[in-house]
Amino acid sequence: MDKTASQKPLVWLLLLLSMTTGLVDAASVLGLGKVFTANMTGNIVFLGFAAAGTPGFHAMSYAVAIFCFLGGALLAGHIGKQHEGRPTRRWLVTVASIEAVLLWGAAGLALRFDVVTQAPEACLYAIIGLTGVAMGLRNGTIRQLKVPDLTTTVLTLTLTGLAADSRLAGGGDPNWGRRIGSVAAIFAGATLGAALLAHGGLSLPLFIAGALALGGTVACGAVPAALGKGR
């Protein structure tokens, strides 16, 4: 099997994970009081708003999200080092399993959380923390994979690449398919997440995100040569 063909399952997995990012951010922004747990750029900006005393922005939520995201990224680095020289499939399934458990834990807590009143407060911060760790773990792991234009969580550089590398700009449109796919996947996840939150509550998008992340990773690892033998 040639290298391009063997990487296709991994590309599809990363697009699926991009979709779960939309699900998680829909749950956090719409259900947890305007806080991102997958996109830390937004939290830094919101933290600045809170520091200026802008109504409706709560510094503690952003601080918890950022701190837990960093903890998840730290864990990702540790797990990656522990799996060096071992099968990539085992590494990614291990990470996906932890991510799924964290998201399912958040989904369980969400059953006790009232989105309208944002209470109880302990549940709010626990859900932010669990999803923050899960997304930090995801980001730290995907960073180690080094697949171009598929970060699964942020789109600023992806959109920049679409324009700056386009034929209109004199470029060759490299990876345009996966770039557009990444944008579409996060958009679709956010749309689905918003709909699920509105009609099924906060728990549903978090549960589905965990199931997709784990199921997609296991399915990708089942394809011969999709993830290679090691790093």
At residue 155, the pLDDT reads 85
Q: Exposed/middle/buried for 186, CB within 10 Å: 0-12, 13-18, 19+? A: buried
| Cα–Cα distance list, 132 to 58, 97, 102, 138 (Å) | 16, 15, 9, 10
Backbone angles phi, psi at 91, to 5 degrees: -60, -50
How confident is the model over 157-176, as pLDDT tens digits? 888 888 999 888 888 888 88
pLDDT in tens, 101-115: 999 999 999 999 999
Q: Is the pLDDT of residue 128 over 80?
A: yes
Which residue is associated with the tokens 């522990």?
82
**CA–CA–CA angle 23, 29, 33 (5° rounding):** 145
Q: What is the pLDDT of residue 150?
A: 84
Q: Are 172 and 165 in contact (CB under 8 A)?
A: yes
- Rounded to an integer, the average pLDDT of 165-189 is 91
**pLDDT at position 1 over 70:** no
The residue behind tokens 């324009």 is 163
- pLDDT classification of 4: cutoffs 50, 70, 90: very low
Question: Cβ(106)–Cβ(96) under 8 Å?
Answer: no
pLDDT of residue 2: 36
Report pLDDT digits (tens) over 93-103: 999 999 999 99
Domain ranges across the chain: 13-221
Q: Model confidence over 198-225: pLDDT tens digits? A: 999 999 999 999 999 999 999 998 886 6
Q: What is the mean pLDDT of the chain?
A: 91
Q: What is the pLDDT of residue 223?
A: 82
